[in-house]
Structure formats: structure tokens, C-alpha cells
Amino acid sequence: MKFDTPATTNPIDQMKVVGKATPRIEGPLKTTGHAPYAYEHHDAAANQAYGAVVGSAIAKGRIVSMDLALAESAPGVIAIVTAANAGKLGKGKYNTAPLLGGPQIDHYHQAVALVIAETFEQARAAAELVNISYVVGKGAFDLASSRASGVEAKDQMADTVHGDFAGAYVAAPVQLDETYFTPDQAHAMMEPFASMASWQGDKLTLWTSNQMIDWSVTDLATTLGMPKQNVRLVSPYIGGGFGGKLFIRSDALLAALGARLAKRPVKVALSRPLMINNSTHRPATIQRIRIGANADGKITAMAHEGWSGDLPGGKVERAAQPSKMLYAGENRLVTMRLTTLDLPEGNAMRAPGETPGLMALEIAMDEMAEKLKLDPIEFRILNDTQVDPTNPDRPFSKRQLVECLRTGAERFGWDKRHARPGTQRDGRWLIGMGVGVAFRNNALVKSGARVRLSDQGIVTVETDMTDIGTGSYTIIGQTAAEMMGVPLDQVVVRLGDSSFPVSAGSGGQFGANCSTAGVYAACVKLREAVAQRLGVSVEDAVFADAEVRSGGKNFPLRDAAQGGEIVAEDTIEFAELSKKFQQSTFGAHFVEVAVDSATGETRVRRMLAVCAAGRILNPTSARSQVIGAMTMGVGAALMEELAVDTRRGFFVNHDLAGYEVPVHADIPHQEVIFLDETDAVSSPMKAKGVGELGLCGVSAAIANAVYNATGIRVREYPITLDKMLDKLPQMI
Ligand code: MOS
């Protein structure tokens, strides 16, 4: 189905099932331990062996020699995969550095060997016995000192030059020119990278943990030099990904190579200390922001220039992106520069671009409001735009940012905030409030599904869509139930298998809207097939209460399948509407913090998010997405930082003891409000996404609250107490 005119009334609008707060349909399987994660497909293949990955001990250089003798003679060892016996490997589209290194080394902990043994413990012990000599090359590991060598990565984010920024900035009576720093961050998902591979002749089955099944089938086939149709990927349950699992990683490739060498199924999980340097991370950024405004608070000039680094051939973190269209203003300069760094591979992490970008921009907006003596909410409202400011012919399909800000201000008690910082106390605690805007575009990706109707009236949905803990199973089930007029418990949802139709996958917060739209399209076809079997006109047919009603007659839905199961398949495709309209999601984050006036310890006290993101398909799982994202925003603001060893080129704190993320005790009362919204331009579902929106702008709201509490402006994340101690107001 081509989606190229705005949606009108359709069965989803009944909202009998869609839009209802619904617990996850796969929840009981997970809470009882019956949902198999990637390392747990114990019964799927007999005679499994275990692989342990050896990571490079240097960041850049070459392997001179590998002595495998000790490892090979260790108890239980079956085989060892290295670049020397792996055969010729192709280059996948989504990996920057080879997933199996050697003799050239591209980054620290790049996989260089897989030791396969009878047990996990034997494999792990033998992996310690692999003896490797290296020659160490000279690498670049420090973004700040590499910054000047940055280049435009046109294919990823071309410069925006609109009007005359320089002239308008110089002429502006009120100016801001500040630079902000965001650190490298780890996805730190609960489930590690894990895969099990099994060969049947020249056909490969890989059970893994992956967000984008079709991308990963393609990359695995390319890397192994085999036809795509000979690779099957199975990933039904995923313990978090946050972008780290958009692509295959070394566990997947090495399990496949290992199983081929050992001639039996091989399981590989990356250990936690290996994961952070072996896989991808969110790259650090430096962002210079200049804003010029008239005395009345109208922005006249906006420049957002950013820098990030990656391995040769890698990606820029598009942090400056939101400044292209979040606020009005005639004159604009938005650029990102990519430098070469020999650190582990940078790539997408939850709301790539917007997350670090808004960490900077939304502090800058707070600083500018203060210079203008305006309330930070009023300043943002004053500079709202309903069109793309660099292309006035391109309106936002829906933009309720002002409503988010006003609703949030009222619900949060913004009127109790004191504009003058450092003036509110609660005993030894300094109290402050902050606001930050959330903004993330609504990407549209084609998505397919197959639906079946059985003679028992059961509707089964099959699509390679994944559920990374987000609730895909449930919203897909709700969609099929609504379309076919059956209760949710008569729908079976099967996901995450490359033998099913190719979906949008879980990425860029487009999964919810696009994958359900694909199910909608398949159900439209199934309704037609049902009507035809029953000999009624689909135009008049009403699908409700497991019946089909037409022309005064009622048929049980299952009657249509008495002559045999009915199967329908379709793919939703998007085109024109994403060109005519700018589709984005919006929100506003409100935070109250307390900062210990003696120690600088920051506690978040209250959080509120107000989101406008199209139709909310399931308020329960959508809320979970947003509170999870808000929690991640607390981590980004106050804790998370991969510490770079700029001498040796690796992330030092590469486990969950050293890489701190928030725990329950760090998280206070959280509230989420979804504004009533449908967006007829986004899809027949009229939905968008919230999974990434929820993270955008949170950390700046916290930074702004810390400033309001203390009068200390920290522009380098995370906001740890060492950055405030010498500036805290004197104790009484
Ligand atoms: Mo997202 S960073 O596209 O999983």
C-alpha cells in the first residue's frame, strides 16, 4: 500500500483496542523466564559449543604473531578462529571497522580470535592463553586536539547556510557565544551482545539479539560472501539495544565462523568488560553555539557548529541537526565536522544527533533567555515556528511545542520558580527548576507484514519487526485486533525472524508507527479476502466482535476460513507526504533538582515530560518508553561518561561498575503527559514515536535546574560535583 495522501477515517479510529492502556502481551513469558533471549535458545540446536572472544590489547597497529599453542591444548578446546583461518571476509554496509581484526588492528578490543570449547568456562579460560605480539601504531584519540582537522561529511549532514549569519549576529543587540561538551556514552543495555550459529550445509541460522533483522541478514551475508537467502536470523526477544544492536557485531560473525570451523552450533556472548570497546558508542561532541536576538527576544541569528570523531570512513554525530528547524530566525549556520579518531567505532545511540545536540542547544536557550531577561518558556514560545525556517513552503505536519510548554508549566508549578538563581533553599539543599525542549524527527520507513486467519478465528501476524523491550508485540497485536474486529487475545504476534516479511525494524523511533502501518496494510488485504470468501462487499462490511456484518447479515469471522486458512501480505510504503511536510515529534521536560550546598551532590526531585507525538497507540508502553528515556537523560546529565585514555586509546571504565547509570534510588517521581494528537500525514495509524523523543532535552532541563539552584553554569557533561565544588555559595 502506498501512503501518499493524508489518512482519512479508517478502522483504527474506532480506538476500541488501539489507544487503550494495555499490558504487554508477552509480559508473562518474560516474567516467568520462558521468553528465550539470544543466549538461551538451548533447545534450538543440538551439541552446542561455546566461543569466547579475544579482543585486541592495542588500539592501532598490527599483530606480529599469534601463539595459539597453549590455548589449543587447553582442556575442552575444539578450534580457534582468527583472521588467518576465517577465509576472505567481505565488508558489511553498517560496520566501519572489520568485526574480526588482524593483522591490522583498528581499535582497542577489536575481536582478533574466537576460542571454541566444550563449555563456556573452558572457552573463557583458554582465551586467556592466546599469546599475541603487536607493533603499536600512532593513533589519534583526543577530540579536542583533533578538532581543527574536522571535515564536512556531506553524505551524512551537509552544512545549512541560510541568510547572512555573520552579519545578523554582529548586528544583534543581544548575543550568546558559548561552547558545550558532551562525552562518549555507552548504550549499557542489560542484555549483552549474544548469538548462536548453526549451519545446515551452506545455510546458516543465527539466533541473536538484533534490532534490524533485514539490515543484519544483508550484512552477515555480505561479510560471509554468501547469498542472502541462505541466512536466517532469529531474534524474538531483545534485552535492550538503544541503537547498539542496529547492526551485527563480532558475536554474530564469530559465532557463524566458529560454527563453520567447529562443525557444530556455537554460542558467543560478549563479556561485559569486552562489550564497550568491542562494540559501538555515542561519540563525544564539542558544540559552539551562537545566538543573536533583538531586545524583544526574537532570534535573528543562529549558529550551531559541532565536532565529533570516528574511525576512518566512520560517521559524524549529527548534534547540530536540531538547530536547523527547532526555532525561528532568518539567518542560520548549522555545521558538523568529522575528525578521525582511532577510538572504538562511534555510531547511533538513542536519538543520535538530537540527544547530544539538545544537551547543548537547550542550555544555550536558557542562557539566552536570561540575557534577555525573559522567562525561558516565554523565550521559546516567542521563537516558535510552524514551518521549516529554511524552507517556508514546508510546514510541520503537527507542531504542538507551545502547547507542551504551556501544559507542562501549569502542571509542574513553573510559576513557583525563582528566576534569580541560587535563591531557593531547603535546609542544606539548594533548589532549582529547569526546562528543556524535546524534538525528534519522525522518520518513515517501509514496513511489511503477513496476517493469517485460521478456521478457529485466530489472527496471526508475522513480520520481522523486533521488540527491543519497547512493546512492539502489543501494539502490533492491538492493530490487528482493531482491524479484524477481534479481541486482543485472539491475535498471535510472531516477530524477529527473517523468514517473515521485511519490516521497518526498531530504530530511530520509527518502529511503532511504521511497523503497525505495515500490519494495517496487510489487514486491509485480509479484510478484502474475508469479504470475498463470505461473498459480501468489503466497503459495507463491519468487522466487530469476531463477526463480519454486512447487508443485515452476521457471519462469525472464522467462517471465512472454513475452506482453509486465509493469508494476506502487504508492505506500507511512504513517499510524497514526507517531502511535503516536515514531520517531527515535540515535547517539554520539566525538572526540579536539589544540590547539596556543601558537597555539590545533585539529586533530581521531580520530573515531568509533556509529549506531542501523534496518536499514542498504547499509553502503557508509551509511558514506559518516556520514563525510561527520562531516566537515561538523568544518567547523561549527571553520571554517564566513557573515560578516554588518550595515551593508549580506549575507554577505561568499560564495565557497569565504572560506567555509572542511574539506579532506582536516583530516580524520583516521574510523570508523563501525552497531548491528544493525531497526525494524518504520518501514516494510516496517525501515530509517530516517543522512544527517542523522551530522551531529547532532558539532560539540558537538569543542567538548567542545577543552574537555577546554584547559579553555576556547567557546560561540560556530565555535571559531576567536582565541576561545582569551588563555585558553590558559602555555607551559612
Ligand atoms: Mo536507534 S539509535 O535508531 O536504536
Atom of ligand 1 nearest to the CA of 348: 2
Please determine, for residue 111, whether its predicted confidence score (pLDDT) is greater than 80: yes
Domain borders along the chain are: 2-35+444-579, 49-138+194-274, 373-441+583-723
- Residue 243 near ligand 1, beta carbon < 6 Å: yes
Please determine, for residue 314, whether its predicted confidence score (pLDDT) is greater than 60: yes
Which CATH number does 49-138+194-274 carry? 3.30.365.10
Residue 446 backbone dihedrals phi, psi, to 5 degrees = -60, 150
- Residue 508 near ligand 1, beta carbon < 6 Å: yes
pLDDT in the model for residue 246: 98
Nearest CA to 583 among 697, 678, 698? 678
- Residue 350 near ligand 1, beta carbon < 6 Å: yes
Q: What is the three-class DSSP state of 156? A: coil
- Residue 430 near ligand 1, beta carbon < 6 Å: no
- Residue 353 near ligand 1, beta carbon < 6 Å: no
Which CATH number does 373-441+583-723 carry? 3.30.365.10
Distance 443 CA to ligand 1 centre (A): 12
Please determine, for residue 240, whether its predicted confidence score (pLDDT) is greater than 60: yes
Residues 6+ apart with CB under 8 A from 231: 203, 204, 206, 217, 220, 221, 224, 498
Nearest CA to 619 among 29, 134, 161, 22? 22
Which grid coordinates are listed for 242?
A: 538503544
Distance 14 CA to ligand 1 centre (A): 31
- Residue 349 near ligand 1, beta carbon < 6 Å: yes
For the question of residue 677 being annotated catalytic, the response is no
- Residue 348 near ligand 1, beta carbon < 6 Å: yes
For range 520-538, the mean pLDDT: 97
> What is the Cα Rg of the chain in Å?
27
Confidence of residue 729 (pLDDT cuts 50, 70, 90): confident
Write out pLDDT tens, residues 41-60: 999 999 999 999 999 999 99
351 burial level (CB within 10 Å; 0-12, 13-18, 19+) = buried
Please determine, for residue 62, whether its predicted confidence score (pLDDT) is greater than 90: yes
Atom of ligand 1 nearest to the CA of 349: 2
Distance 349 CA to ligand 1 centre (A): 5
Judge whether 590 and 608 are in contact, CB under 8 Å.
yes
Average pLDDT, the chain: 97
Distance 373 CA to ligand 1 centre (A): 38
CA geometry: angle at 571 spanning 26 and 253, to 5°?
Answer: 65
| Cα distance between residue 607 and residue 391, in whole Å | 35
**The total number of residues written for the chain in this structure:** 732
Write out pLDDT tens, residues 172-209: 999 999 999 999 999 999 999 999 999 999 999 999 99
Hey, do 2-35+444-579 and 49-138+194-274 end up sharing a CATH topology, with the first three levels equal? yes
Distance 646 CA to ligand 1 centre (A): 27
- Residue 433 near ligand 1, beta carbon < 6 Å: no
Residues 6+ apart with CB under 8 A from 276: 109, 186, 344, 642, 651, 654, 655, 659
Write out pLDDT tens, residues 639-681: 999 999 999 999 999 999 999 999 999 999 999 999 999 999 9
Write out pLDDT tens, residues 437-486: 999 999 999 999 999 999 999 999 999 999 999 999 999 999 999 999 99
**In angstroms, what CA-CA distances link 154 with 97, 314, 316, 318, 353?**
21, 13, 10, 11, 15
pLDDT in the model for residue 731: 58
Please determine, for residue 728, whether its predicted confidence score (pLDDT) is greater than 80: yes
As its CATH architecture, domain 2-35+444-579 has: 2-Layer Sandwich (3.30)
For range 585-592, the mean pLDDT: 98
Atom of ligand 1 nearest to the CA of 211: 4
Cα 311 from chain centroid (whole Å): 21
* Sign of the four-CA dihedral 531, 534, 536, 540: negative
Catalytic residue among 345, 640, 692, 716: 692
Question: Could you give the maximum distance between any two Cα atoms of the chain, in Å?
Answer: 84
Atom of ligand 1 nearest to the CA of 506: 4
For range 330-348, the mean pLDDT: 98
Please determine, for residue 715, whether its predicted confidence score (pLDDT) is greater than 90: yes
| Cα distance between residue 515 and residue 446, in whole Å | 8
For ligand 1, mutation pick of 235, 692, 695, 696 (most atoms within 8 Å of CB): 692
Query: Which residue's CA is the nearest one to ligand 1's atom 4?
Result: 243
Please determine, for residue 259, whether its predicted confidence score (pLDDT) is greater than 60: yes
- Residue 505 near ligand 1, beta carbon < 6 Å: no
H or E stretch covering 651: strand 650-651
Atom of ligand 1 nearest to the CA of 242: 4
Distance 686 CA to ligand 1 centre (A): 21
Cα 379 from chain centroid (whole Å): 30
